[in-house]
A and B are shown apart, each in its own frame.
Chain A
Amino acid sequence: MKIFLKVLVAAALTTASTSCSSFLDINDNPNSPTAVAPNAILAQALSVTAANYTGNNPSYNSYGSWAAGYWGKSGVVNGYTEERTYNYSTLYYQGLWSNTYDNLNDYNLIQQQADAYPNHAAIARIMKVFNFQLLVDEYGDIPYTEALQAAGNTLPKYDNAATIYRDFIVQLDGAIADINTAAAAADALAVGSEDIVFSGDMTKWKQFANSLKLRVLLRESQTNDAALNTYVATQMATLQNAPDGFITTDVVAQPGYNQNTSQQNPFYNRYGFTAAGTGATERLYQIPTNYIIAQYVSNNDPRITQLYTVGARTTGTDPNTVTTPGYIGTDLGERSPPSFVAPVVASRFLPNGTFLKGPNAPTVLMLLANHLFSKAEAETRGLFTGNNTAAKTDYLNGIKASFLFTYRTATTPVIALADATASTPGSSAYDTYIAANTANPLVNYDLAPSAGTLGKQSVIIYQQYLASNTVASIEAWCAYRRTAQPKLPASLESTSPRPDKLATRLLYPQTEVSTNQANIPTGITQFTKIFWDVVD
């Protein structure tokens, strides 16, 4: 018996030992890469940021559109309870948190290879600020210094929102310096077509960084914190004369959107039409509020023709039916909001209009109009030099930039204001608007009321509110919380205890509650304010 066993074991062991290591070394993943170079990450990271900002499910834009009073619920859908009551749960828009951090991780991975890819890393550094600011503005204190460390720290602590804001400026200055250093190095790898925003033009990235600095500083400029105010004033003074200046066009991302599944402009895909041309699921779910419609109609604002379809109201019965066309919206929280069948046909996003330019339209990262309104605000408030003279120029340019954006088609390239001519779509409508409102203090800068050190901040924010509608709604929502302008109405079903009956922020998401509860700041409700939100 023994001899047989010995033979058997020996035979088995021989076969095993001769081939074992290679027999088991078959674990190289044939399906997915386990390492990728920064230039193969950048485009995706930028398009995801743009999609999170404007049209993904969820997006900052859609959250802002409900919160800032642009959108109401149509009659064809149930739900939107949280939008109507401000009775948020930890699940409400929780994807913003995880999607943004997920996106930040990709930028962080690019940054980790800064030695070989200095320009890519600098872009990543700027975009990290862009994304972290979105998070701070909706959540306040967030993981920042201990964030993005992968398995190195799975329970990242939360940093103070104001402290994070200070670091944004450091990072943006750093990124500009990095770009300058890379430009001086002959062997620094250039950025190519993977830059779907500026096609590798690093000067434009520096301008974008400066405009972002202005956004950051202005947002924290209205607190009662003297030290912070001094800091902002100092930073602003330097910023105004920054070597590369500010953005001169709308900043958009265009990876090559086209009418194909997963390749359409994200807002168009979610709220417009599918790649097959059928209506998207959410196309009929939201309609404009009566409030936003009134801002266009009562000020003879031609932009509304580019935004919404014309609805209709039918009165009387057969055969004395009278149908009156018009822009028909809703009051958020209204019991029976209009749907799209007679006798009340609601307005909705206009196909091929501003919001649904087309499946191939680029996505917005920063509207030139918003930048110019920020600049005008800094000027009228004395944070930048130039006073109301400069402010008025930037204010009017801001309105004009909004008109050019509103009327621009999906495929027309973005242009600087200086390059616009009388035949550029939107130019003549802008002239009409200004001409029709010479006596209107909501349009005419000179007639707009001035409020002490805030100057004509109110009318600037008002015009910014119109420019941001459904495109960069989150900016209007931030501006509202900072300045309490304009006086937008809350939902009729509001349960908010605040004087304005609105909410102020999102709750920390359920995913964070279940994974990092010990670090989450306590005592937070949806009515707690972000540090820069002081004015009510």
Chain B
Amino acid sequence: MKRLLLLLNLLFLTALLQQAVAQDRSISGQVTDRANGQGLPGVTVLVKGTTIGASTNAEGNYVISVPTSATTLSFSSIGYLAVERPIGNASNISVALATDAKQLGEVVVTGALGIQRQQQQVGYATATLNTEEITQARPTNVVNGLTSKVSGLQIQTLGSGINPSVRVTLRGNRSLTGNNEALIVVDGIISTNDVLVALNPDDIASISVLKGANAAALYGSQAANGALIITTRKGSTTPKVTFSQTSQFESISFLPKFQGEFGPGANTYTSTLPPFSPDNSVDSNYEYQYQGFENQQYGPRFDGSLRPFGERLANGEVQMLTYESRLNEKRKFFNAAYQAQNSVTFSGGDEKTKFYTSFQNVHNNGIVPKDKYDRNNFRFNASRELGRLTVGFNVSYAQQRIDQTSNLDQASSIYWNIFNTTAMAPITSYKNWQTDQYANPNGYYNAYYYNPYFIIDTYRTNDRRNTLLGNVDLSYKVNDWLNFNYRIGTTNINQSSIATQNKFSFNSFVQGGNTNKGGNGLPGYVQDLSSSVSRINSDLFASMDKTFGDFSVQAIVGNNVQQLDSRFNYVASTALATPDLFNLGNRIGNLTGSDAQAKTRLYAFYGDLTLGYKGFLYLHGSGRNDNISILDQNNRSFFYPGVDASFIFSNAIPALKEVSFLDYGKIRGGITKVSQVNLGNLTGTGVYQTGGAYSLNSTYSLGSGYPFGSLASFTANNTLVQQGLLPEDTRSIEAGIELSFLQRRVSGAFSYYSQRSNNQTINTSISSATGYSSLLLNAGEVQNQGVEVDLNLIPVRLNNGLTFTVGGNFNYNNNKVISLPGGLPQLALSTGGNAQLYAIPGQPFPILQGTYYQRTDAGQIKMTQTTDPFTGEPRYFPLKAADTKILGNTQPKYKYGFNSSITYKGITLSGQGELRTGYVVYNTIGENLDFAGSGQRSVTYGRQDFVYPNSAISTDGGQTYVPNTAGLTPGGSEFWASSAYNTSVAENYVTSGKFFKIRELSLGYVLPASMVSKIGFVKGASLNVFGRNIWTWVPKENIYTDPEFNFSNSNAIGINTNLQTPPTKFYGATLTATF
């Protein structure tokens, strides 16, 4: 993209340079890109103080004739830092140009529809990152390369594992229950979030981030959340082959803090119980403190003695183990994962034809044993100029294969299983469960949970996804100021997934009830799902760009048509007839299944006009009329406008032009309305999505179990719909200033925005006494206000090439629910647990609300008195309140991104960090750890009875309370594992979400051309060593996990779960060679 522009620039310059005067001598040389040593075409070479100049050719070579009076040559190119060189007597001057950290003003912005504007012309906030910035630390998912690099952009990685999903939001959440994720546009075609994991990062030429609705309005209603405009590489005039190999390692960055002091046991009030059975027999009846078969870890303190571990086997044997902690087994269980990326790209072409093709293979072994991820990407992009017509097409195909442990529920969750495995267990010795009698489910020590290695082999999910992206682009140049464009493209994702559980039957000894293991085994199943989604997007538009004296006019009018088609088929068996054969034919009982399809359409007309005056004042307005199938006839057509302005005062005010330290200054402002239809894009079944189709009527579905033979019968579903639903409106205003000083050594931007979304389409819970449980209606209002600050400094920029840059970005976002429908006091975004997310008027959104302890007016926790059933002594428990209270907001209010780089002679050291603060997270895994007794929190008081801190007791049946100084709370499972007094009290597990992460650190070295050229056919080579997420700091109170992790991909952000794997860090190296 940049190359293409440079060529245009070149033509322009050539005209200018025709006036060159008589020359005396000739100087030649090559201008190269410091980053990779390759020749830079289109660089302007000027004799300083004159208009004499030349520009470099495709290989970066130039020849210039200079007058004898000339002393200095200056080299400049958009996107690079300008360099000056004294001429002296030299006849050959070669320079290497460094990329400009951030050139403001002249940087070209790829806006809506792929139309490019100079940054100075736009009245809204954008950011553009090029391929190096995205891929320097070799993320496999393109979007992870954006993390912390753009203010206002939040990339939330929802888990670890071999293919974690990400959630991309800009400037907070607007819609209460609807879609808040940024629109994804690939090569001008509206696509879907699902393609992000299927793109080859090496194919990306640039990603533009359109932060607000102003920027993105032309994309239509989906752009109310901002947009990511991804542009892939187009090819070049010189043939070039690049090969790169990346090897990286992934390891656990931290585990929850486990306790390693106490062994298995589940009894309560154990003070008078003997710790072990006297003859070391198995205590199957809970008469002692120690039960070697327990998942709970409330047994006696480890003492190094030899104890029976688990229960007696059918052959009478029992495993004897020393009673000690083997805590590092929990970490050892997880693999150090290895990941390889191999990529080859080829680009070539001439002035009229360009093409680019690539292949990438990613292979990833996860940290969970036997998890595997494979991805193959193919891409072919080409374009050709045929007179006035330019034809281009891009096509890419990605194949993803995931083979992993299912992690569907607690039974198949490895993480949960590890929580419920005592520190005493030598976990890694139980690998061979088929042959080792103590590893086999029949003899495995844990009576209530399976051996994790058995789970890994028993619960598998095989997922295959094929993603095809393709588009054709026709551009007809009527004359030098008018263009017609037609662009049609499609995104197709086909997914097929088989989840299996193998059949396992306990032996007759276990089935006969001779152990505490319940049941008779696992029935096995096959769940076969295939789903697909296809989007077609077509744009026809005309664009003009013409200057009339002092005025410039840029206009676009166009038409957009979109269609979404999606469907899924799901068939499952619920029990296998024989083990090890995963075929639907090998089953007991009926097949179960379901399917659905959805189709939505939209057409729209839009117009966009930018008026410029003398290059320092720009007014821009746009309007779009959408017609959408998913609303009813009367409301399906709607119009929304936007206006903005930009004023480059550094160009406008003559006095400022003279100020030497100010390079560039601009103020801007805009106001927009965007309407979005949020009818609930139901997802969750593979890649199936409804796009909100068929949401206007209540439906019926087949009753549970039906049809019984020929008897089919239906039940009314629980959702009602308000008649005449309207789209949601988001009105935003934004204003900003952009400044650059000291030849771009200091540059910065500041934005303020305020958005108000009303007419929210919300599925509200209603009294079930109505016969229904929810009503979809229009109401509710949310406000987001915030500031974004970007600052980039170049403290060192020496002629010898040493450059040191530091940058930072900051985003403060304050959002608030203004109102909810029908005066509703709150709206639940998630349901089920002890702490859940809500929208509450006057509060930030989403807000965490959960259970808590009763407190006295003085803030002391009220205790209730019970009696130790063995000793008869009084004991005190904290009292849970009957209702819930607000525990905090779960979206970070403050986000800081930091980046820095040092470049010298082909060596680049760069790093990115991120700090998020001003929010809380809810650690569901904290409840799990306390229940299991495996977490650090449960040994806070060494399992001794303790005086509950800051508590109060009552001696008159709860009338009055006095501070508690000596009343003891029991220190064993009767308190820590108790749902009544501890684990169901949400305030115990809320921690600050604050974290600081070193997201990326990379050290790159570009081999000098002199060295490389000796190898002959090699044109360039570079080596890059990197790490991602290499260091994470969290506050001391967070003993659980990465606060970014979340249980779902919805607006309900801020609750983690055990259906995940622990957070990880990556480090690796990439070798790139160009031929």
Interface, chain A (partner B; CB < 8 A):
1, 4-5, 8-9, 12, 16, 20, 23-36, 40-45, 47-48, 75-76, 78-79, 81, 85, 87, 89-90, 97-98, 101-102, 104-106, 108-109, 142-143, 146-151, 153-156, 193-194, 196, 255-263, 274-279, 283-284, 335-336, 338-345, 511-512, 514-517
Contact with A along B563-587 (1 / 0, CB 8 A): 0000000000011000000000000
Smallest distance from the beta carbon of A348 to chain B beta carbons, Å?
A: 10
A to B contact number (C-beta, < 8 Å): 275
**Residues of chain B with a CB closer than 8 A to A75's CB:** 285-286
Other A-B contacts than A277-B520, A336-B286, 18 sampled, CB-CB below 8 A, are A4-B482, A8-B542, A25-B629, A26-B629, A44-B706, A78-B266, A98-B768, A102-B768, A106-B716, A108-B771, A146-B769, A148-B770, A149-B770, A154-B767, A284-B518, A335-B269, A512-B768, A516-B766
Q: Which residues of B contact A35 (CB under 8 A)?
A: 700
The segment from B160-168, B591-599, B1021-1029 that touches chain A is B591-599
Contacting residues, chain B, for A147 (C-beta < 8 A): 769-771
B448: A residues at CB distance < 8 A: 76
> DSSP majority for the B interface?
loop
Question: Does A27 contact B706, Cβ atoms closer than 8 Å?
Answer: no
Output the least CB separation between B974 and chain A (Å). 10
Given contacts A147-B771, A154-B775, A154-B822, contact A341 B285 (CB under 8 A): yes
Q: What are 21 of the A-B contact pairs (CB < 8 Å)?
A: A4-B484, A27-B696, A32-B700, A33-B700, A33-B714, A34-B699, A44-B714, A78-B296, A101-B771, A102-B773, A104-B771, A149-B770, A260-B589, A261-B589, A262-B705, A276-B523, A279-B518, A284-B519, A341-B514, A512-B769, A514-B828
Complex Cα distance, B199 from A451, in Å, reads 84
Q: A156: nearest residue on chain B (CB-CB)?
A: B769
Q: Is B694 an interface residue (CB 8 A)?
A: yes
Q: B487 CB to closest chain A CB, in angstroms? A: 14
Q: Which residue of B is nearest A258, CB measured?
A: B708
- In Å, the complex CA distance between A419 and B76 comes to 106
* A47, A108, A156, A341: the one within 8 Å of B767 (CB): A156
Closest to A284 in B: B518
Among A23, A34, A278, the residue within 8 A (CB) of B520 is A278
Chain B: interface size category: 35 or more
The answer to whether B698 and A40 have CB atoms under 8 Å apart is no
Selected contact of B590 from candidates A81, A85, A260, CB within 8 Å: A260
Partner of A44, one of B523, B715, B772: B715
Query: Beyond A154-B770, A341-B516, is A85–B601 a contact (Cβ under 8 Å)?
Result: no
Q: Give complex CA distance A154, B268 in Å.
A: 46
Q: Which residues from chain A contact B702 at a C-beta distance below 8 Å?
A: 44
Q: Chain A residues with Cβ under 8 A from B628's Cβ?
A: 24
Question: Which B residues lie within 8 Å of A90 (CB)?
Answer: 882
Known: A34-B698, A256-B709. A47 touches B703 (CB 8 A): yes
Using Cβ atoms and an 8 Å threshold, which residues of chain A touch B698? 34
| Residue of A with least CB distance to B693 | A27
Q: A1-B482, A27-B630, A255-B711 are in contact. Are A85 and B769 (CB under 8 A)?
A: no
Task: Give Cα A376 to B311, complex, Å.
Answer: 54
A341 CB → nearest B CB, Å? 4
**A51 shortest CB reach to chain B, Å:** 8
Residues on B close to A: CB < 8 A? 266-269, 284-287, 296, 311, 448, 478, 481-482, 484, 513-516, 518-524, 540, 542, 544, 546, 557, 559, 574-575, 588-590, 592, 596-601, 603, 605, 627-630, 632, 636, 693-694, 696-706, 708-718, 720, 722, 765-773, 775, 822, 824-826, 828, 869, 882, 931, 977-980
Contact A156 B629 (CB under 8 A): no
Q: How far is the CA of A358 from the CA of B982 in the complex (A)?
A: 40
- Residue numbers in A under 8 Å from B693 (CB-CB): 26-27
Quick one: given A261-B592, A336-B286, A511-B768, are A151 and B700 in contact (CB under 8 Å)?
no
Q: How far, in Å, is A491 (CB) from chain B's closest CB?
A: 13
Among B514, B544, B722, which residue has its beta carbon within 8 angstroms of that of A151?
Answer: B722
Interface pair A151/B768, CB less than 8 Å apart:
no
Q: Is the CB of A43 within 8 A of B542?
A: no
Q: A24-B628, A29-B697, A262-B704 in contact; A4/B770 too (CB < 8 A)?
A: no
Please determine whether B825 and A517 come into contact, CB atoms closer than 8 angstroms.
Answer: yes
Q: A153-B770, A262-B592 are in contact. Are A343 and B557 (CB under 8 A)?
A: no
B772 and chain A: residue at smallest CB distance: A150
Which partner residue on chain A sits nearest B767 by CB separation? A516
CA distance A336 to B269 in the complex (A): 11
Shortest A410–chain B CB gap in Å is 15
The complex places the Cα of A102 from the Cα of B766 at a distance, in Å, of: 12
User: Do the beta carbons of A26 and B601 come within 8 Å of each other?
Assistant: yes
Assess whether A341 is in contact with B714, with CB atoms less than 8 Å apart. no
The 5 nearest A-B residue pairs measured at CB? A105-B771, A276-B523, A44-B703, A276-B575, A256-B708
Report the minimal beta-carbon distance from A31 to chain B, rounded to whole angstroms: 4
Docked pose: A29 CA to B696 CA in angstroms: 10
Distance in Å: Cβ of B821 to nearest Cβ of chain A:
10
| Contact indicator B629/A12 (Cβ below 8 Å) | no
A279 near B542 with CB under 8 A, answer no
What residue of chain B has the Cβ atom nearest to residue A85's Cβ? Answer: B980
CA distance A526 to B833 in the complex (A): 23
Partner of B575, one of A41, A42, A155, A277: A277
Q: Tell me, in angstroms, the Cα distance from A276 to B575 when the chains sit together.
A: 5
- Separation of A276 and B589 alpha carbons in the complex (Å): 7
Given contacts A31-B596, A34-B700, A44-B715, contact A101 B979 (CB under 8 A): no
Complex Cα distance, B520 from A142, in Å, reads 44
Q: Are B516 and A339 in contact (CB under 8 A)?
A: yes
What are the residues of chain B within 8 A of A259 when measuring CB–CB?
589
Residues of A within 8 A of B513 (CB): 340-341, 345
Whether A106 touches B599, Cβ cut-off 8 Å, given contacts A278-B523, A335-B268, is: no
Which residues from chain A contact B518 at a C-beta distance below 8 Å? Answer: 76, 279, 283-284
Contact B713 A194 (CB under 8 A): yes
Q: How far is the CB of B892 from chain A (nearest CB, A)?
A: 27
The answer to whether A16 and B603 touch across the interface, beta carbons within 8 angstroms, is yes
In the complex, which residue of chain B has the Cβ closest to the Cβ of A314? B285
Which of B704, B717, B770 counts the most A-chain CB atoms under 10 A from its CB? B770
Alpha-carbon separation in the docked complex, A514 to B772 (Å)? 15
Given A26-B599, A43-B706, also A261-B574 (CB < 8 A): yes
The CA-CA distance from A27 to B765 in the complex, in Å, is 25
Report yes or no: A5 in contact with B627, Cβ–Cβ below 8 A.
no
Closest to B599 in A: A26
Instruction: Give the CA-CA distance A16 to B590 in the complex, in Å.
Output: 49
CA distance A28 to B694 in the complex (A): 7
Say how far B840's CB is from chain A's closest CB, in angstroms.
11
Q: Which residues of A contact B766 (CB under 8 A)?
A: 154, 515-516
Separation of A76 and B513 alpha carbons in the complex (Å) = 12
**B794: shortest Cβ distance to chain A, in Å?**
44
Q: With CB as the reference atom, state the residue of chain B lying closest to A333.
A: B869
Known: A33-B699, A102-B768. A275 touches B286 (CB 8 A): no
Known interface pairs A109-B716, A151-B775, A260-B590. Does A79 touch B979 (Cβ–Cβ under 8 Å)?
yes
Q: How far is the CA of A448 from the CA of B718 in the complex (A)?
A: 51
The answer to whether B708 and A255 have CB atoms under 8 Å apart is: yes
- Whether B768 and A101, one on each chain, are in contact in the complex, defined by CB atoms closer than 8 angstroms, is yes
CA distance A196 to B703 in the complex (A): 14
By beta carbon, the residue of chain A nearest B628 is A24
> Considering the chains assembled together, what is the distance between the CA atoms of A150 and B718 in angstroms?
10
Q: Would you give the shortest CB distance from A44 to chain B, in whole angstroms?
A: 3
Q: Give the nearest-CB partner of B627 in chain A.
A: A24
**If A29-B697, A33-B699, A261-B589 touch, does A276 touch B574 (CB 8 Å cutoff)?**
yes
Most-contacted residue by chain A among B478, B772, B824, B977 (CB, 10 A)? B772
Which residues on the A side are within 8 Å of B542 (C-beta)? Answer: 4-5, 8
Given contacts A29-B697, A341-B285, contact A44 B713 (CB under 8 A): yes
Q: What's the least CB distance linking A59 to chain B, in Å?
A: 14
CB distance from A301 to the nearest CB of B (A): 26
Say which residue of B285, B589, B717, B771 sits within 8 Å of A32 (CB atoms): B717
> Contacts of A45 on B, CB cut-off 8 Å?
713, 715
